[in-house]
Amino acid sequence: MDHGVSLSVSGGVATILLDRPVRRNALGLETWLALTQLVEAADGDPAIDAIVLRGAGGTFGAGNDISEFGALHGDPTAAMTFARAMADAMRAVEMATKPVIVAIEGCCYGASVALALAGDLRFAADDAMFAITPAKLGALYLQSDLHRLVAAVGAGQARRMIYTAEPVDATRALAIGLVDEVVPVDGFEAALARLTGIIRRGSPFTLRRSKVMLREVGHGTPLETEASLGEFVVATQGDDFREGIEAFLNKRQPRFR
């Protein structure tokens, strides 16, 4: 069965492609289920250093596949199944131990914005457009989606996007913190390759542990505990630390394992 999402690997980078261009990569139940499996597979592969999540056909995604929503009305069990599939996929993206770069071109609407917010870095082309549209459908974002949205743009901008459902262009998205970088669409592929290359040169230990710690900071973890101080100590005893120091002192690139 074609779930509308695929996984490919090249040079230590896994690309997870939302691939339903005829429907602008709309997310159906089977797509959400398959996405969880592919993210977990990529995260568990020791040959992969980073994950890129993107859409086919020059667009990231139009949100949920509304053609499937009619079946949810009057069927709470089906609606719960869909909600859990969405939540599980976005949690898989958020909890992946490896950096997840969300590459966004064209439209990024509805649930596709929520999916992008689950990644670590949102890297957008200057033709990207964003809109949070549940108010047009009488639907709701999940609580976890709202948490990520507020963490990214603040409560005021989150309210504006949800209440108005108005599109936001890439320039505005960068200004409010919805995306982390915007590049010209004609240089998008080269800039994305450069970013993933830089990330791959870093210490895998540092990237993975920092990702966990940053997530805890986002959830309001206190400044320091004995356990958090211990993380620093653990780092100094590892092979990556030894290699990084030796490389710095010898003025060469580190060769992390």
DSSP string, 6-22: EEEEETTEEEEEE--GG
pLDDT of 47 over the 90 cut: yes
Inter-residue contact 74 to 28 (CB < 8 Å): no
Inter-residue contact 134 to 110 (CB < 8 Å): yes
Worst-scoring range by mean pLDDT, 1-10, 26-35, 166-175?
1-10
Q: Which residues of 204-232 are buried (b: 16+ CB within 10 A; e: fewer)?
A: bbebebebeeeeeeeeeeeeeeeeeeeee
Q: Could you give phi then psi for residue 150, rounded to 5 degrees?
A: -65, -40
Average pLDDT, the chain: 92
d(CA 256, CA 244): 8
- Could you give the 3-state DSSP secondary structure of residue 7? strand
Q: Is the pTM of this model over 0.85?
A: yes
pLDDT reported for residue 233:
75
| C-alpha angle 14-15-21 in degrees, rounded to nearest 5 | 165
pLDDT of 202 over the 70 cut: yes
Residue 210 CA to its chain's centroid (Å) = 16
Task: Sort strands 50-55 and 100-104 into parallel, antiparallel or unpaired.
Answer: parallel
pLDDT of 158 over the 60 cut: yes
| Percent of the chain's residues with pLDDT above 90 | 74
The tens digit of pLDDT for each residue in 54-86 reads: 999 999 999 999 999 889 888 999 999 999 999
The topology (CATH level 3) of 5-200 is 2-enoyl-CoA Hydratase; Chain A, domain 1 (3.90.226)
**Which whole number is the average pLDDT over 128-156?**
94
The tens digit of pLDDT for each residue in 203-227 reads: 988 998 888 888 877 776 666 777 7
Task: Sort strands 100-104 and 13-18 into parallel, antiparallel or unpaired.
Answer: unpaired
**CATH 1.10.12 holds for 204-249:** yes
pLDDT of 257 over the 90 cut: no
The residues spanned by each domain of the chain are 5-200, 204-249
